[in-house]
Amino acid sequence: MESLLTSILGTNLLTTVIYCALPLVFVLTYALIAVLGEVKISAWMQDRLGPMRTGPWGIIQPLADVLKLLQKEDITPSASDKFLFNLAPFVTFMGSYAAFAAVPFSSQYIGASLDLGIFYVFAVGSIGVVGLMMAGWSSNNKYSMYGAMRSVAQIVSYEVPAAMALMIIVIYTGTLNLQDIIVAQGGGIWNWFVFGGPKADVVLASGRELQASWANLVFLPLFLATFVMYYVSALAETNRTPFDIPEAESELVSGYHTEYSGMKFAMFFMAEYANMFLVSVVASIAFFGGWQSPYGTTIGALVGVPWLSPVEEFLWLAFKGFFFVFVMIWLRWTLPRLRVDQLMYMCWKVLIPFSFGIALVVGFLVMIM
């Protein structure tokens, strides 16, 4: 992909900027679709129609929303710390956007094929937390402050089971490289980690061989449980229902972004949606084969059109990511909000012991197999 851009535009700054901005284009488009999805799906699940008057079936409603946000007054509270207040939304968005650098959108397009991929995604994703704290603290508002503290506490504590769940996959594959993890799941739907991982030997992108056989079916229940744990922690990490206690739109003022309006609010919104997509994509990479198609090959490879394969791979990844975002929305309109003690119980007494236990079992099985 990078070589293609270089061959078209030459080696210069513009090429680099375009290469870096490609995920942004995707994330922006995705955010519009996700916002529309949120309003329409919530409406359908409540037997309503949702927005119907902007465009056919209301499909340009998110554009109208963006236009509205652009027109809104940009308010900075006079008693706030102006520098941090204005910086916070960008830091938060940067945190979730920077993580896309290590996400392999297809076998040909990855911002940076890092050997520390999963580690990087987690580390950079945590910068967003700094942004939230900055936003809450610099607003000089007790509700923002409390909201930020609760958000941050929740995100930090749920990062433990989320990271542990991914660590289980890492223990099995022996690599942190996301591209490698996807390559390990090639060859068909039964090789995805959620169904127990590869059933035959695979050569990873880094050249290392991963030995596997049908005996790997013993991993199926373990990895399935790991996936559920990861997804639950991801929900909590993105402050989505049923873990949206810090925002609790029906009970509290809206948490750390109480004082924000206009485009700065939109940045937080974008960051939240980008984060949702990021955790969905990571879930599909680690457990559902990333850009691998469920039938093991691509139509492009079958009919001999080489440029079609990466496009297909990208569509598969996007589809999987969108599916998990849809499940998040689905859960949002199904489940009531947890209490704080239930949230803590879930994290410290259920997810963490289970993830450590499964990690031990998987480690032991990997050792003896």
Partner 1 sequence: MSGYFTDIKDGIWTVLVGMTITWKHMFVKKVTIQYPDVKRELPDRVRNRLYVNMDDCIGCDQCAKACPVNCITIETLKALPTDDLGSTSTGNKKRLWMPVFDIDIAKCCYCGLCVFPCPTECIEMTDVFEFSEYHRKDLVYHFGTMTPEEITVKRAEVEEYQREQDAKKAAAAAAAAAAKKAEADAAAAAKASEAANIPPDTTAPVS
* Closest distance of CB 338 from partner 1, Å: 11
277 to each of 83, 84, 167, 238, 289, how far by Cα in Å? 29, 26, 20, 10, 16
Interface with partner 1 (CB under 8 A), residue from 67, 156, 200, 350? 350
CB nearer to partner 1: give 204 or 229. Answer: 229
State how far the Cα of 257 lies from the Cα of 225, in Å rounded to an integer: 34
CB nearer to partner 1: give 44 or 364. Answer: 44
* Closest distance of CB 151 from partner 1, Å: 23
Tokens of 212: 């596997």
Give yes or no for residue 333 binding partner 1 (CB under 8 A): yes
Interface with partner 1 (CB under 8 A), residue from 331, 361, 365, 366? 331
CB nearer to partner 1: give 51 or 188. Answer: 51
**Residue count of the chain:** 369
CB nearer to partner 1: give 150 or 332. Answer: 332
Classify residue 53 by its DSSP letter: S
Residues 23-82 that bind partner 1 (CB under 8 A): 41, 43-49, 52
State how far the Cα of 340 lies from the Cα of 148, in Å rounded to an integer: 15
Residue 230 CA, distance from chain mean position: 11
In this structure, are residues 275 and 238 in contact, taking their beta carbons and an 8 Å threshold? yes
In this structure, are residues 158 and 246 in contact, taking their beta carbons and an 8 Å threshold? no
Query: Using CB under 8 A as the criterion, what x/- string covers residues 272-301 for binding partner 1?
Result: ------------------------------
Q: Write out the DSSP string of 197-228.
A: S-SS-EE-TTS-EE---GGGGGHHHHHHHHHH
Residues 176-235 that bind partner 1 (CB under 8 A): 228
Exposure string for 198-214, b = 16+ CB within 10 A, e = fewer: bbeebebbeeeebebee
CB nearer to partner 1: give 45 or 360. Answer: 45
* Closest distance of CB 361 from partner 1, Å: 17
CB nearer to partner 1: give 223 or 265. Answer: 223
* Closest distance of CB 243 from partner 1, Å: 13
* Closest distance of CB 330 from partner 1, Å: 6
Piece of 255-263, 283-291, 307-315, 329-337 that binds partner 1 (CB under 8 A): 329-337
In this structure, are residues 38 and 56 in contact, taking their beta carbons and an 8 Å threshold? no
- Binders of partner 1: how many residues, by CB under 8 A? 17
CB nearer to partner 1: give 47 or 251. Answer: 47
Give me the residue label for tokens 């991993």. Answer: 219
In this structure, are residues 271 and 131 in contact, taking their beta carbons and an 8 Å threshold? yes
* Closest distance of CB 47 from partner 1, Å: 5
Neighbours of 73 (CB within 10 A): 6
Interface residues toward partner 1, by CB under 8 A: 41, 43-49, 52, 228, 330-331, 333-335, 349-350
